[in-house]
Structures are given as structure tokens and as C-alpha cells.
Amino acid sequence: EFSRMKKTLNKEKIKLLCMDLVMLVVLVLIDYYTKYLAVIKLKNQAAFNIIDGVLEFNYLENRGAAFGMLQNQKIFFVFIAVIFLSVIIFVLLRTPDDRKYRKLHILLTMIAAGAIGNMIDRLRFDYVVDFIYIVLINFPIFNVADIYVSVGTAVLIILILFYYKEEELNLLLKGRKV
């Protein structure tokens, strides 16, 4: 098993994984900084209109998941995040260092960054700092990490359905080249 892993971790693969790590750190820092700004500028303040009747910044301490579901389930959310992150790491390690899979690396890194960003909040505060509110459609208040997860997942689904062939996806599970 070790020799097989060593073969798959060539210089190009290591370079790609390092780029993933740098992107992950940058995205998590952006999320953290926006939440920090939300706490110091928006907490205990009236909503801040960006585009009247369309978009505003509105501070919220979310103790649940999307749309406020599953309130106060910190251990459950952290457990799920660890499982998702483990799967993402597994897939990134098994993904060939072929150019065709760069999109997959970017999307999985975005999803991981969102999961980590919100997990940091849950571990530190027992809630997630949300602050972006689309007034026009009365969409639940969210944050930058949520954008990473939502956009990353949506584009990933599109790629799986329309871009990657079944054989290319199977090789991620079997660890073989097509």
C-alpha cells in the first residue's frame, strides 16, 4: 500500500496538493476575516443596506444548519464536517495529476474551506456567524463559507453529470488510470 501511495505522490501531484493547501488557507482566512468584520461592525447593530430591498448585511449567530435547522447540534455538525473533509482528502489524494481534474481540486478545496470555516466557528463559539441576507427573496442569512460550499457543490454536481465520464469517476474509487 505504501509503495503504491508513493508512486501516486510524484512531484507534480505534491505540487498540486500544495496549491490546494494554499488555496484552502487563503479561502479560510477570507471567511474568517469577513466573519470578524461582521462581529465588530454588525453585532448589536441595525441591518446595513447594501442594495435597498435586495441585499443587506445583518448579523446572526446561527446555532443550526442551513435555514436554522437542527439547532444546538454542535457535535453532530463537527462529526459530519470531519467525515466530509476525510472524503475530500481521500479523493484529492487519489485524483490523477492530470489537467482534466484541476477543476475537481478547486471545487473540493472550496467545499473543504467552507466546512472548515464554519467548523472553526462551531468549535470556538458554539454557533456560526452569518451576515449576508438577500432581502429580495427572503433567503436565510448566510456567510462566505456557505458560498464556498454551495457554489462548489453546485458546480461539482454539474461536472459529475455533464463533464466527467463514468470511467474517470470510477478511477477515483479504484485508484486506476483510465
| Structure confidence by residue, pLDDT tens digits, 97-110 | 788 889 999 999 99
Residue with the larger pLDDT of the pair 48 and 1 = 48
| Residue-wise pLDDT tens digits, 74-91 | 677 778 889 999 999 989
Q: Structure pTM?
A: 0.84
User: At residue 51, does pLDDT exceed 90?
Assistant: yes
Spatial contact of 145 and 114, defined as CB atoms under 8 Å apart: yes
Residue bearing the bigger pLDDT, 96 or 82: 82
The active-site residue, picked from 20, 31, 121, 130, is 130
* % residues pLDDT > 90 (the chain): 61
> Who wins on pLDDT, 101 or 22?
22
**DSSP-assigned beta bridge partners for residue 57:** 48, 132
First to last CA, the chain: 20
20: left (phi over 0), alpha (psi -120 to 50) or beta: alpha
Residue 178 has pLDDT above 50, yes or no: no
Catalytic residue status for 52: no
Residue indicated by cell numbers 501531484:
13
State yes or no: pLDDT of 22 exceeds 50.
yes
Can you give the pLDDT at residue 169?
74
Our answer to whether residue 97 is catalytic in this structure is: no
**For residue 140, how many other CB atoms are within 10 A of its CB?**
16
Q: Does residue 80 contact residue 114 with C-beta atoms inside 8 Å?
A: no
* Element containing residue 3 per DSSP (H, E): helix 2-8
**C-beta of residue 91 within 8 angstroms of C-beta of residue 6:** no
In the set 20, 31, 121, 146, the catalytic residue is 146
Asked if pLDDT for residue 174 goes beyond 70, the answer is: no
Does position 177 have pLDDT exceeding 80, yes or no?
A: no
**Residue range 50-79: mean pLDDT, rounded:** 79
Dist CA 28 CA 66 (whole Å): 19
Give how far the C-alpha of residue 78 lies from the chain's centroid of Cα atoms, to the nearest Å. 14
